[in-house]
Amino acid sequence: MSTVLITGCSSGFGLLAAKQLAERGDRVFATMRAPDGKNRAPADELRALSASTGSGIEVLDLDVTSDASVDAAAATVLAKAGVPDVIINSAGQMYVGLAEAFTAEELSRQLDVNIVGIHRVCRAFLPLMRQRASGLIINLSSVAGRFAAPFFGVYHASKWAVEGYSLAARRELACAGVDVVVVEPGPFTTKLFPQSPRPKDEENRAGSYPEAAQQTFDSMGAAFEGMFSDPEVPTDPGDVVNRFVELIDMAPGTRPFRSVVGVDMGVTERNATDEAHDGPFLQMMGLEDFVQLQTT
């Protein structure tokens, strides 16, 4: 049995992961914003599951954009269960629209949720993970962290940041026995796209773009719906959660850094090319101690 902390459990991969891991016997701290407010329904769903099955789920209030909220939740987890064996950073949003139309404040918000939030959670637990010389951090990235397409520039910026941050952290923590991996889902049937914030664009910058840009953007929703309705396309969010479970169960030192799940958009091939260069690059720099996870 592992002790697992999961962020973003109000919906999507985080909610499914909390249920599945608890049902298999893990102790789960399922965190989300406002579990007794706007997210009361999923919070109560998890509480009811725990009460009816005896599974180990505890719902905690955690806003990844707040230092105080993250630190308070971490203090509760540490007091009740000690340092988690696994952290799954699943909280995230996907801002969609022409990059120019987003203000600097809106861009900062996207980055705060998707990458700075990961940093806050990691900082809250890493000292004790390093002291124990073990642990696994799973950061939810995306195939969007490996390529770029129109109208997703702000989201791409956050997910490319997750990739770079996580790979560097994997190297830095290898000598301390803490493993860091990313999972890269393709498009899935979660609430991510329907709830995607658009730019306020009070200056109507999008309106000055060629008409083709607006027409293409307007057709994107139908394109996503068409993909999700195709039974041949792997869009079951449970596939991502199954990969979380597989990574947790792998022996330390054997986990791949990247795991693509679902429609891969050619990312699997790109990952293989990059990975062929990663180790030799570190060795060339004299950083051999940071190539492989050190296990005891």
Select which of 11, 155, 158, 165 is catalytic. Answer: 155
Which residues partner with 184 through β-bridges? 260
**Known catalytic membership, residue 11:** no
Select which of 10, 11, 50, 259 is catalytic. Answer: 10
Select which of 11, 95, 159, 259 is catalytic. Answer: 159
Of 68, 74, 51, 65, residue with least CA distance to 5: 74
- CA atoms within a 13 Å half-sphere pointing along the CA-CB vector of 221: 10
How far apart are the C-alpha atoms of 37 and 212, rounded to whole Å? 41
Select which of 11, 90, 141, 166 is catalytic. Answer: 141
**Known catalytic membership, residue 158:** no
Neighbours of 149 (CB within 10 A): 11
Cα-based torsion angle of the residue sequence 98, 100, 105, 110 in order, rounded to the nearest 10 degrees = 40
**Known catalytic membership, residue 159:** yes
**Known catalytic membership, residue 52:** no
Q: Provide the token pair at 15.
A: 């909610």
With beta carbons less than 8 A apart as the criterion, state whether 128 and 145 touch. no
Active site residues: 10, 141, 155, 159
